[in-house]
Structure 1
């Protein structure tokens, strides 16, 4: 099928990036073509909507192909969403925002299917939980699905920071309960504190928001506190330290050597101060 006849799935939550993996895919397609056909369905306004194969489609464009193998499926909107999500959740390195949006799309589709089932079988619909069903397909619990879906309540700027690992997942779930304006204030408070929130800090902001509203001053006050985890602990990645030591050194040997060198440094400082 001509590439010009294909268009992305509406609301497709997975990013198609021109990264190293895409470069490798383009080179593979140039040499061997597209091995696995795309799965598509007829579009409501003509052409065909891609259900599975957005990366292959983009790589084929970059490789200069005009046509690409496809399998055409006749699917309604709900079935198409479910197939699109399931085919993409097998990918590696899925961003939290992608997983959150994909889980929500599949949950909404399953619930819609459940509503149709409810017309003929109320007992079946009553027992059906879309989040648990999504979890089964993804190999996670229904609670994990619900927590990821909470992230879709974050404003884009905060969600981007979760993807960039500037805000940890668990605090982000708590922040998702803040109103949009409160989330914008949170970004100011985070910039003021020059630190990411701990889970307990995010929980207090959530509680404050639900009780009486969380102001910028409230957030700055909470973010200005020293995190308990930061008291009395300094952590180094072993990989960062190994370049300074022989390969045979164990973490314990590296730790002992660092402490010994710090003691020597302290003694030198004390001597210099006494001069």
Structure 2
């Protein structure tokens, strides 16, 4: 059965995002106006990728025919900047279509958390969560989590995510009732939205990776679970070293290497040398044993010297004696 498509209403319910009656998304007094594209700035650390290829071409064609139908939402900050909360693709398509301005709705008196919620909510409204890249999902969930945590909403889910983000700080004294509530919350999210609490926690943790590394998750160079373990290397300079080594030396990061990097980091043993040893595969290669490899004597050889009535123990003892005599004679010949 196909997983249900996560739409904006579902996602809002999941994280209990309940806008106030005077929501930041409601039309402001004065309504829609127009503004030059050159006066608009992208939202800082905005990780939702602009449309490309056919999707972008279709949007440019639509703008050519009908103009920009949906206003761009801007945040007029206290320092006088106009940051795009919703409409990065509309502005881009408008510019490519030859326009110099577009319709806007300007929001004022927003907190940063409120602005972030508008960015994530509107992006989820316009595209399916399942269609987003891993980095976009991680960004969206992390921003939602931080904004909602500051508002003190959905404490049960937020505490579960917190535990997933910090597995070593889990509360060993949790009651069975609390545990049951957490399991019910996780199961409900999984059933209704195809997104478990553990998956939410992993996405949020992955969002702490530097841009070059999380981009490799999008391209498939680093698997999702490997990226999760890698995100526990919290030193951003070391993350950058890992990224640089992957680029310069062509090293790959698989699950075993990511687990080792995490383990060495958490035990304070991740140095420049051990990092190279792990990424090059030196630490994950099995050491060759000095012991002789097992050898099986063919049945045709056994049948030449033994009968079916003889037990395996008798055959083994005879072979042992025969080999002892062989090597003793061999050593005698060498001495002579």
CA distance in 1, matches of 2:247, 2:285: 11
The 1:212–1:50 alpha-carbon spacing in structure 2 relative to 1, beyond 3 Å, is closer
CA distance in 2, matches of 1:41, 1:125: 27
Aligned length: 216
Q: Please, what TM-score do these two structures have when normalized by structure 2?
A: 0.54
* Aligned mate of 1:222, from 266, 274, 283: 283
Question: Per-residue displacement from partner, 1:215-246 (whole Å, max 9, x unpaired)?
Answer: 135403235569xxxxxxxxxxxxxxxxxxxx
In structure 2, the residue matched to 1:162 is: 217
Contact 2:85 2:115 in 1 (8 A): yes
In structure 1, the residue matched to 2:311 is: none
Q: Indicate whether 1:151 and 2:206 are aligned.
A: yes
Q: Indicate whether 1:105 and 2:143 are aligned.
A: yes
In structure 1, the residue matched to 2:304 is: none
CA distance in 2, matches of 1:47, 1:181: 32
* Aligned mate of 1:3, from 33, 36, 39: 36
Q: What 5-or-longer segments of structure 2 have no aligned partner?
A: 1-33, 163-184, 288-336
CA distance in 1, matches of 2:212, 2:284: 18
Contact 1:166 1:196 in 2 (8 A): yes
The 1:224–1:23 alpha-carbon spacing in structure 2 relative to 1, beyond 3 Å, is farther
* Aligned mate of 2:117, from 82, 85, 88: 82
Contact 2:245 2:251 in 1 (8 A): no
Question: Per-residue displacement from partner, 1:223-272 (whole Å, max 9, x unpaired)?
Answer: 5569xxxxxxxxxxxxxxxxxxxxxxxxxxxxxxxxxxxxxxxxxxxxxx
Question: Per-residue displacement from partner, 1:81-137 (whole Å, max 9, x unpaired)?
Answer: 1121122135254222222222222222112222xxxxxxxxx7865727599x969
Q: Please, what TM-score do these two structures have when normalized by structure 1?
A: 0.65
The 1:167–1:225 alpha-carbon spacing in structure 2 relative to 1, beyond 3 Å, is farther
**Secondary structure, counterpart of 2:83 in structure 1:** strand
CA distance in 1, matches of 2:155, 2:199: 21
- Structure 1 residue 192, shift from structure 2 partner: 9.2
- Structure 1 residue 204, shift from structure 2 partner: 2.8
CA distance in 2, matches of 1:218, 1:129: 38
- Structure 1 residue 67, shift from structure 2 partner: 3.1
CA distance in 2, matches of 1:197, 1:213: 18
In structure 1, the residue matched to 2:53 is: 19
Structure showing greater Rg: 2
In structure 2, the residue matched to 1:237 is: none
Q: What 5-or-longer segments of structure 1 have no aligned partner?
A: 115-123, 227-275
RMSD of the TM alignment (CA)? 3.4
Contact 1:189 1:216 in 2 (8 A): no
- Structure 1 residue 80, shift from structure 2 partner: 1.8
Q: Indicate whether 1:55 and 2:89 are aligned.
A: yes
Higher RCO, Cα 8 Å, sep 6+:
2
In structure 1, the residue matched to 2:230 is: 175
Task: Specify which structure has the higher proportion of helix.
Answer: 1
**Secondary structure, counterpart of 1:8 in structure 2:** coil
**Secondary structure, counterpart of 1:170 in structure 2:** helix
